[in-house]
């Protein structure tokens, strides 16, 4: 990316969300964004992205691979300089964090 191309961080945030919606939890047929696994997305003026996310359980079978997949897919966005994923279990994930869309998809509404 050349330095003279500027992108609005909100616009970049939207692109990041679109990418996150292409990543699915292997045990639940819903993307990680709608599941509520993404707690926060930070973008600084250098277009470094930090994503604070959780997993459905600490023993999640994709605990090793999912954060790497998130980092790689977010880094693939042209405007993103770097991406880092931080996993937290505070607060722990609950089904209350899922979007209405995810609950509907899973027949919970």
We report the CATH number of the domain holding residue 37 as: 3.30.300.130
- Tell me the per-residue pLDDT of 63-109, one tens digit each, with 9 for 90 and over: 889 999 999 999 999 999 999 999 999 999 999 999 999 999 899 98
Assigned domain for 3 exists? no
What is the domain range of residue 85?
9-105
Provide the pLDDT for residue 7: 75
Assigned domain for 41 exists? yes
Number of independent structural domains in the chain: 1
- Tell me the per-residue pLDDT of 8-19, one tens digit each, with 9 for 90 and over: 888 999 999 999
Measured in degrees and rounded to the nearest 5, phi and psi for residue 16 equal -60, -45
pTM exceeding the 0.85 threshold for the entire prediction: yes
What SS3 state is found at 95? Answer: helix
């Amino acid at each position: 990316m050349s330095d003279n191309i500027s992108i609005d961080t909100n616009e970049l945030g939207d692109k990041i969300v679109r990418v996150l919606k292409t990543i699915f939890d292997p045990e639940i047929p819903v993307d990680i964004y709608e599941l509520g696994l993404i707690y926060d997305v930070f973008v600084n003026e250098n277009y470094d992205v930090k994503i604070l996310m959780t997993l459905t359980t600490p023993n999640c079978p994709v605990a090793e691979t999912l954060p790497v997949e998130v980092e790689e897919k977010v880094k693939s966005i042209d405007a993103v300089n770097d991406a880092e994923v931080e996993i937290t279990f505070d607060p722990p994930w609950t089904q209350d964090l899922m979007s209405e869309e995810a609950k509907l998809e899973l027949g919970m509404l």
